[in-house]
Amino acid sequence: MTDYGSMTLDEKVSFLKHVRIFADTGEVFLLSLATVLQGVKAKPQQTILKKGEPGDAMYIVTSGTVRIHDGSHVLSRLTVNDVFGEYALIDDGSRSASVTTEEESYFLRLRREDFENRLADDPGLARGIMKVLVHRMRDMNELEEKLAKSYIKIQKQKEAIEEQNQSIKEAKDKMEEQNFDLLHLNEEKNHLLSVVVHGLKNPLTSSLTMIDMMLNDPEKACEEHRDYAGIILNSLQRMNKMINQILDINVIESKVYHLNMERINLKEIVEKISNIYKHTFDQKDIDFRLSLEDLHAELNEVYILQVIDNLVSNAIKYTPAGKTVSIDLVSKNGKVLIEVKDTGIGIPRQLIPGIFDQYERKKHHLQQLDPDTGLGLAIVKKYVDAMNGRVWCESEAEKGSSFFVEFDLS
């Protein structure tokens, strides 16, 4: 059926007889219904009903196909002799879903007002509409049952996933625990290494200085003893090289992430280093001066000891007899400033910018005790950076050097 308007009344009635909703309706009433039904023509993809909008009529599909949908989710498809929008015949609530044509389609439209006018005269019409509603309810029950079943299935899958999740989480926790242990162990190892190396470095530097003096002062040692001293110097140099390798920058970097910082009494630290070198200063005939304020900073003890030790041992190394080495500890603009100053051989101006780079040993010094190193100042820089401080150098050839280390006051 395409054009309802062009059909005769008989044709309309015989068509309506095949529509399920009118199966129990008497012929007389079908005749009166036939006069109030309106023929509607729709293009493909035309929206007939929109979810949420008020409804006042029911539609019978006489040709074509429509989809019942909620947004892009299709609930069902209806075709010839099916009806939709029948709830609107009973109440004036809003549409529960949208209806859109799939192709060119034709409908008969029954308005609530016309339906109500005829309902009282024909109980068959009420039965017909009730049948359609019951049918819809059965469909819904079936759907509900299916939903319940898939809900149970989903629930079971969810439980299985949760179980898997739990075991993954347990495995992850265990790995994290092991990882933590490893990190801790590594940290311990690095710490131990720093302590041991630091402990070795001081006596070694003193020994190297003394042997050097023995070798260069014929009055203090006979030739035979100087030969022995040469052998000892060789061994000490090998040990020094090894120690500097252990102090390699990689070791420092791996430790930087887990640095243990604490409130350090800097005066005590400087005094500790000074005591170690007191004898060496006397032996080398270097005038050693201290001027220390009582100051504290948030630092790592092993690192700060190593920093000052490296600067002082350099000062001794590069300062000839009769000259001066001094350490000043002062507070300045909320900072702690340590200055290790010597009146030794100094550093040519052009060499200062790269002085803290690794292996920057400058060849201008004649008296080189351990020619394989050149790490001392690189280590100083790494350690000071790791403790959030600043280090710099001021020097001039022949006029001595000053190394400054600065931290926040605590």
Footprint on this chain of ligand ADP (rule: CB under 6 A): 314-315, 318, 342, 344-347, 355, 360-362, 365, 373-378, 401
At position 203, the amino acid (one-letter code) is P
For the bound state, the minimum distance from the C-beta of residue 257 to ligand ADP, rounded and expressed in Å, comes to 24
Residue number with CB closer to ligand ADP (12 or 382): 382
Residue number with CB closer to ligand ADP (299 or 345): 345
Residue number with CB closer to ligand ADP (69 or 323): 323
- Alpha carbon 155 to chain centroid distance? 33
Residue number with CB closer to ligand ADP (128 or 400): 400
Per-residue exposure over 165-181, b if at least 16 CB sit within 10 Å of its own CB, e if not: eeeeeeeeeeeeeeeee
Per DSSP (E only), the strands in 94-181 are: 98-101, 105-111
For the bound state, the minimum distance from the C-beta of residue 327 to ligand ADP, rounded and expressed in Å, comes to 12
DSSP 248-306: -HHHHHHHHTT---EEEEHHHHHHHHHHHHHHHHHHHT-EEEEEE---EEEE-HHHHHH
Residue number with CB closer to ligand ADP (52 or 348): 348
For the bound state, the minimum distance from the C-beta of residue 299 to ligand ADP, rounded and expressed in Å, comes to 20
Residue number with CB closer to ligand ADP (96 or 358): 358
Of 288, 291, 350, give the one whose Cα is nearest residue 325.
288
For the bound state, the minimum distance from the C-beta of residue 397 to ligand ADP, rounded and expressed in Å, comes to 9
User: What is the pairing mode between strands 287-292 and 324-332?
Assistant: parallel
Quote the Cα angle for 234-240-243, to 5°: 145
Helix axes 249-256, 123-216, angle to 10 degrees: 140
Residue number with CB closer to ligand ADP (158 or 289): 289
Extract the tokens encoding 253: 């970097």
Which residue is it, tokens 């910018």? 353
For the bound state, the minimum distance from the C-beta of residue 267 to ligand ADP, rounded and expressed in Å, comes to 22
CB-closest chain residue to ligand ADP: 376
Residue number with CB closer to ligand ADP (253 or 394): 394
Quote the Cα angle for 276-331-267, to 5°: 25
At position 12, the amino acid (one-letter code) is K
- Type and span of the H or E element at 405: strand 400-408
For the bound state, the minimum distance from the C-beta of residue 221 to ligand ADP, rounded and expressed in Å, comes to 25
CA dihedral 280, 283, 284, 289 (to 10 degrees): 60
For the bound state, the minimum distance from the C-beta of residue 178 to ligand ADP, rounded and expressed in Å, comes to 39
Residue number with CB closer to ligand ADP (98 or 313): 313
For the bound state, the minimum distance from the C-beta of residue 273 to ligand ADP, rounded and expressed in Å, comes to 15
How many Å from the N-terminal Cα to the C-terminal Cα in the chain? Answer: 95
